Structure 1
Amino acid sequence: MSFLVLLLVLWVEKFSAWRGAIQQDGPWLRLLAKAERQADFIESPWLVIVLMVGLPLLALALVLALLEPLAYGWLALPVHLLVLIYSLGRGDLLASLGPFRDSWRRGDGEAAYIVARRDLAVEAEEEGALLKSVQGYLLWQAYQGLFAVIFWYALLGPLAALAYRLLALMAEHAGQEVVRERAVQLRHAFDWLPVRMLAASFALVGNFVAVSRALLHELLSWDISAAQLVINVGRAASDTPEPVIGEAGVSSLDGLWQLMVRAAVLWYTVFALWTLFF
């Protein structure tokens, strides 16, 4: 059933507007803000995490425990699908990059700075650094918005996928610095394995030698962030050239996106074979 859910997610992502309707974070964020204001939680950030992440996971586990024994588990399929869609990243990555691509292709550096700051929250002091930052944005958002979620769903099911997204939301939106720091630490632990698996797949579908050099010293490192690792390895795997303004710069973004697509096809193929033979 898990592989069927993954196929349905691709269909929903490409051909429907369900994702925007399902990914409603407002109620959860309001509860998070309310919990952070409670005196009992101010001194214990772990209680906030247990409340805002642990309780939704417990509720989901109870629902699945009730549904999975019925109708050979097929009644649980819609729950899996809804949870996985909710757990994906927010927004349309390619659409958000559209204005920047258009400005960069025209050679309009000033407009590119403006739309990068407005749409991507990316800033840089000069054109080369700006394009590198946008390349990093593309790789990181594709990883955390899709690959990490699907990885944890395929490995451990919807509970792990939902936990990853709730921690990501808490790391981004928590009002208390100490709560945000704890969420970032937990998310870092969640990212350690999938980001290295993605890096390994980059080696298989991209420049193996360059990836090996980029990954060699960081393979088992706990200190490097997932964002920095996926950016370094992604740029190495796609042989990303030095940043230039114009069509060549836009082509570098296309090359990185195609790298992610090839890696996704590889992992879907592996999961399909695993489902068939095991």
Structure 2
Amino acid sequence: MSFLVLLLAIWIEKFSALRHRVQRDGGWLRELNKLETGPRWVNRPWLVLIVLILLPVALLALLLWVLEPVAYGLLALPVHLLVVIYSLGRGDLLADLGPFRDAWRREDLQAADHVAKRDLNIEADSGEQLLERVQGHLLWQAYQSFFAVIFWYFLLGPVAALSYRLLALAAEHSQNPGVAERATQLRHAFDWVPVRLLTASFALVGNFVAVSRVMLHELLNWNISAADLIGKVGLVAGEIPDPVAGPDGINSLDRLWELLLRAAVLWYAGFALWTLLA
């Protein structure tokens, strides 16, 4: 069923607006901000995370435990699908990059800097650094929005996928430094395996030798963040040249996107093979 759910999730994400209707975080974020600023909770970040992450995923696990034996698991299928869709990343990555691409193609660095700050929350001291950070943003957002979610769903099911997304939301939106720090630490642990699996995929669909050189030093490095690792490996795997203004710079973003698509096809082929052999 996992492979079927992943296929349906891709279809819905591409051809339906259901994802935007399902991904409503307002209520959960209000509870997060209310708890983490409450006088009894402000110095108990672990307790905040237990209530807002462990409790929802425990309720999901209980619901699935009840539904799985009914009708050969068919009643659990829509629950799996909704959880996976909810757990995918927020926003539209390519649409968010659109204004930056237009400005960079015109070689209007001032406009590119403005839209990068407005749409992507990216700032830089120079045009070259700005493009490098946008390239890293593309790789990181694609990873955390899609690859990490489908990895944990296929490995451990919807409970793990939902846990990853709630940790990401807590790390990104918490106003309590203690809660944000601990959510970030847990998310780092969740990212350790899938980000290395994705970089290994880059070696297979990109420049194998260049990726191997980077991963030789970083494979077991616990301290490097997933964003930094995917950024370093993605650029060498895609053989991305030094950043330049104009259409050549935009071409580097297209090459990274094609690299990500090839890696996604490889993952789905691996999931399909595993499903057939299991």
Structure 1 stretches of 5 or more lacking a match?
none
Aligned to 2:233: 233
Task: Report the 3-state secondary structure (helix = DSSP H, G, I; strand = E; otherwise coil) of the residue aligned with 1:41.
Answer: coil
Aligned to 2:26: 26
Distance 2:98 2:33 in 1: 33
Alpha-carbon distance, 1:78 to partner: 0.4
Which TM-score applies when normalising by structure 2? 0.99
Identity of aligned residues (%): 65
**Alignment of 1:62 onto 2:62:** yes
Distance 2:122 2:108 in 1: 16
The Cα offsets for residues 55-75 of structure 1, whole Å up to 9 and x where unpaired, read as 100110111011110010011
**Alignment of 1:167 onto 2:171:** no
Aligned to 1:128: 128
8 Å Cα contact 2:206-2:237 kept in structure 1: yes
Task: Report the 3-state secondary structure (helix = DSSP H, G, I; strand = E; otherwise coil) of the residue aligned with 2:198.
Answer: helix
Distance 1:107 1:45 in 2: 46
Aligned to 2:83: 83
Distance 1:113 1:36 in 2: 34
Aligned to 1:276: 276
Distance 1:14 1:43 in 2: 42
The Cα offsets for residues 79-122 of structure 1, whole Å up to 9 and x where unpaired, read as 00000000001000000001111111111111111111110001
Which TM-score applies when normalising by structure 1? 0.99
Alpha-carbon distance, 1:211 to partner: 0.2
Equivalences, count: 278
Task: Report the 3-state secondary structure (helix = DSSP H, G, I; strand = E; otherwise coil) of the residue aligned with 2:83.
Answer: helix
**Aligned amino acid, residue 207 of structure 1:** N
Runs of 4+ in structure 1 displaced over 6 angstroms?
none
Correspondences of 1:101-140 after superposition (within 5 Å): 101-140=101-140
Aligned to 1:2: 2
Q: RMSD in angstroms over aligned alpha carbons? A: 0.6
Structure 2 stretches of 5 or more lacking a match?
none
**Aligned amino acid, residue 98 of structure 2:** G
Aligned to 1:183: 183
Distance 2:37 2:104 in 1: 44
Distance 2:18 2:79 in 1: 14
**Alignment of 1:215 onto 2:215:** yes
Aligned to 1:46: 46
**Aligned amino acid, residue 138 of structure 2:** L
Alpha-carbon distance, 1:36 to partner: 1.0
The Cα offsets for residues 176-200 of structure 1, whole Å up to 9 and x where unpaired, read as 1011100000000000000000000
Aligned to 1:247: 247
Alpha-carbon distance, 1:44 to partner: 1.6
Distance 2:131 2:86 in 1: 30
**Aligned amino acid, residue 183 of structure 1:** A
Alpha-carbon distance, 1:43 to partner: 2.2
Alpha-carbon distance, 1:40 to partner: 2.5
**Aligned amino acid, residue 243 of structure 1:** P
**Aligned amino acid, residue 69 of structure 1:** P
Deviates further, 98-107 or 30-39: 30-39
8 Å Cα contact 2:37-2:176 kept in structure 1: no
